Amino acid sequence: MNTRTDHLVNGVDLSIDFAGIKSPNPFWLASAPPTDKAYNVERAYRAGWGGVVWKTLGEDPPAVNVSSRYSAHFGKNREVLGFNNIELITDRSLAINLEEIARVKRDWPDRALIVSIMVPCEEAAWQHILPLVEATGADGIELNLGCPHGMPERGMGAAVGQNPDLIEQVARWCKQYYSKPVIVKLTPNITDIRVAAQAALRGGADAVSLINTINSITSIDLDNMVAKPTVGQQSTHGGYCGSAVKPIALNMVAEIARDAPTRDLPISGIGGISDWRDAAEFVALGAGSVQVCTAAMLHGFRIVEEMKDGLSRWMAEQGYRSLDEFSGKAVANTTDWKHLDMNFKTIAHIDQDKCISCGRCYIACEDTSHQSIAQLIDASGARRYEVIEEECVGCNLCQITCPVQDCISMLPQQTGKPYMSWDQDPRNPFRQAS
């Protein structure tokens, strides 16, 4: 039996109780290739991961995958910004998966083990598989209602997750035939994520996880006129993940966390989590656990040690003794645009000691923004850039384009004016109606 008391890191308690599922830390591996067999999962546990979501089980015969399966969206230095896959659910038999899940859970009782499931949207299919999964002793299940490729063509995955009535129905079946926590994994390929979350809640779901992957085509091979990954002479859209999707995931997590019907619904955050800071941001917006896939695939399982170390050190510096002490603290400060303070003003300031006179801020502001940065050239030809304060609208573009960290800062201004929302603003032509 492998039990470890590693919930205390740098004197901080990283353990969680997520919808009744206990874990020594909030870092779980998401349902994906890294969790497709006992060999991988046990290595992940030894590396320090608090939990895993086993790669999605389905009915026999198992899915058949194609070759190749992955592609990427690269930065200019070949760093992977986004990752695309056209892989399906497990291609191993249900019996083998169930046997390995039971053995791993027996040997690692202190780690969270959640089983992802996807079967046809028929009550009999769920009624059949759920008791088999429960017999393994796994801590809970995650309903894969978000896979955007291959499975929707068979009436599963995102085909279910895009239909609130089906989300509610499948969740209800699972609560009827399974006694442990039920997590519904939501698709981002939808207009309003709150509708899907509310449907899961109505069906009795104990929690939701999000986001699943986003429909994507990462690039085109212009020599052969086919997208990547290429299967023979063809390709298809796949599921997009990695650091590029983090902003989308954070927004959807926040939407659920601040929506009145679902504000108390536990959320497992997924999407572009690559380091401890990413994880902390998801927790601040209400996530009770975080799931990682792409970062582990690119850098290996040992990245979890850096994540745990970094998160615990930051928490200690902030005085947080557990994740509960800052979970959801950013939700109250997240609102609709119409509630923002119209009288708030900030302007840019350039630290001349740090400025390297590259002119990127000037070009960006002059060509595409508000012409509020002056380029001053002295007799020797040396350039200097200064903010024209009366023209600056505080858009942040100069700070974003500046290659020197902390060279440009945005300074709040004392306007002497009280808070005023758009609903209260006399410039709003619909103010009275509001």
Residues labelled catalytic: 147
Neighbours of 64 (CB within 10 A): 8
* Contact (Cβ atoms closer than 8 angstroms) between residue 221 and residue 228: yes
* Contact (Cβ atoms closer than 8 angstroms) between residue 347 and residue 413: yes
**47 closest CA partner among 58, 34, 60:** 34
Cα–Cα distance between 392 and 395 in angstroms, integer? 8
* Contact (Cβ atoms closer than 8 angstroms) between residue 347 and residue 373: no
Residue 253: CA atoms inside 13 Å, Cβ hemisphere, count? 33
Could you tell me which residues come within 8 angstroms of residue 270 by beta carbon, excluding any fewer than 6 positions away? Answer: 30, 185, 209, 210, 211, 212, 249, 290, 291, 293
* Contact (Cβ atoms closer than 8 angstroms) between residue 200 and residue 168: yes
Cα–Cα distance between 212 and 31 in angstroms, integer? 10
The beta-strand segments (E) located in 64-135 are: 70-74, 80-85, 112-117
**What are φ and ψ of residue 311, in 5° steps?**
-65, -45
